[in-house]
Chains A and B, each alone.
Chain A
Amino acid sequence: MSVVSMTVNGKPVSVETEDRTLLVYFLREQLRLTGTHIGCDTSQCGACVVHVDGKAVKSCSVFAVQAQGAQVTTIEGLAKDGKLHPVQEAFRDNHGLQCGFCTPGMIMTAVDMIRRNGVMDRDTIRHELEGNICRCTGYVNIVSAIEDAAKRMTSGEKAA
């Protein structure tokens, strides 16, 4: 057992957990942040993507103790003051989700890729989405949502 301390969505947390606790279980079961989903649990599907120190990672493939001292952002941390993040808005406006299960991972991956690349063509977005699977196969609108969000965020709309 270790006491793991990190900052999650801007709030410091300090929780005793087993060394073998994966970050995704730490977030979901110990912090009760169930917006981060477990899909495949084998690092293929991307439903569990969160940001650790500003970089997208698959939280099913990282131990919580590895994130000791880190800044972690989950889907719950994107909206600010009751206002959705531009990527969340774009997913809603473009119908970028069907059943919604993959959506938290898609959005966290989208925020990361937009931060790195800014406005992208559709091929680049698809390449960047290689680690995220939508079982409804709703990729066309997911790509449209990301394309739209990237334009909104780089055209001066305030990015959270």
Chain B
Amino acid sequence: MITYPFTYKRAKSVDEAVALLAGSPDGKLLAGGQTLIAAMKMRLANPSDLIDISGIKELSYIRGNAGAVAIGAATTHFEVASSKDVAKAIPALAHVASVIGDPAVRHKGTLGGSVANNDPAADYPAAVLGLGATIKTNRRSIAADDFFQGMFTTALEEGEIVTEISFPVPQKAAYKKFANPASRYAMAGVFVAKFPNGIRVAVTGAGPCVFRVPQMEAALAKSFTPDAVAKIAVDASGLNSDIHGSAEYRANLVTVMAKRAVAEIA
């Protein structure tokens, strides 16, 4: 499959990427391209210019500091999955990165790209929302709770570039997903994180956008056991329904994945 024509430009810095983006009629950022290029090949996307930010050194790093792990937006899934620092501080985050797509996809795909795209079935949004991470851009810092706004929709404005995501280190966390056997995308993925000041439960794949489950969070705060969430069902209305599974099926998967995630760390 061949995409529509476009002009390719390689940015060496975030400032240069911002300028190139502003100077193109309908430019798009290219990071790993594992979603964007597929969409362009289907001719669902037709950017005038692709600004390649994958080689920007200032966007590729993993830094641990007091209570948080900061990861540059152009860091690949492979780099996060194989990082000793991430595995030590937040093993569940390394696990999330290790179950995205397949090895070849993980060699190209990036954290910033996944989060900015906000695919309803992407894995990273569950970790970002589940850990209450902060998304840093070239303009500001955005809390995860304010960032994910709907299907493929985020708080990002025109010309705004994700530069870093900072993940608070929890006491414990786990991610369990029920993957579509062909695409490996999450049919339902549940990220559970335990912090001294509370529990966060985030669900991806089941709805049009990643979401939290306050009822499960409250129940787990009282009793951090699989049984605490076993009887809590999310409302199936509004969940995704397709050839792979009905909304009711996905609602049930959310409860099952939540139980499994809690069982791993309880």
Contacts and interface: CB of A to CB of B under 8 A. Distances in A.
Interface residues of B, number: 29
Contact of B103 (A19, A63, A109): A109
A160 B41 CA distance: 35
Most buried by B among A18, A56, A113: A56
Contacts of B37: 22, 61-63
Given A57-B108, A62-B37, A20 B102 contact: no
B152 interface: no
A55 B41 contact: no
Interface stretch (A38-46, A72-80, A149-157): A38-46
Contacts of B41: 22, 41-42
B3 A20 contact: yes
Contacts of A62: 33, 37, 108
Given A19-B7, A66-B54, A49 B104 contact: yes
Contact of A113 (B50, B101, B103, B108): B103
Contacts of B211: none
A42 B6 contact: no
Most buried by B among A63, A68, A128: A63
A93 B2 CA distance: 38
A42 B43 CA distance: 12
A131 interface: yes
A157 to B, nearest CB: 24
Contacts of B3: 20
Contacts of A41: 1, 41
Contacts of B184: 130
A43 B54 CA distance: 19
A22 B37 CA distance: 9
Interface string B103-137: 11101100000000000000000000000000000
Interface string B168-207: 0000000000000011100000000000000000000000
A97 interface: no
Given A41-B41, A61-B34, A131 B104 contact: yes
B155 interface: no
Contacts of A89: none
B263 interface: no
Contacts of B30: 66
B238 interface: no
Contacts of B2: 20, 22, 25
A2 B41 CA distance: 19
A25 B1 CA distance: 10
B8 A55 contact: no
B110 to A, nearest CB: 13
B54 A58 contact: no
A128 B52 contact: no
A58 B105 contact: yes
Interface of B: 1-8, 10, 30, 33-34, 37-38, 41, 50, 52, 54, 78, 101-105, 107-108, 182-184
28 contacts: A18-B5, A19-B5, A19-B6, A19-B8, A19-B50, A20-B4, A22-B37, A42-B38, A43-B105, A44-B183, A49-B104, A55-B78, A56-B103, A58-B108, A61-B37, A61-B105, A62-B108, A63-B8, A66-B8, A66-B30, A66-B52, A66-B54, A109-B103, A112-B103, A130-B103, A131-B103, A131-B105, A132-B102
A-B pairs with the 7 shortest C-beta distances? A131-B102, A19-B8, A130-B102, A55-B107, A58-B104, A20-B3, A56-B104
Given A66-B30, A66-B52, A109-B104, 7 more contacts: A43-B34, A43-B38, A62-B108, A112-B103, A130-B102, A131-B102, A131-B103
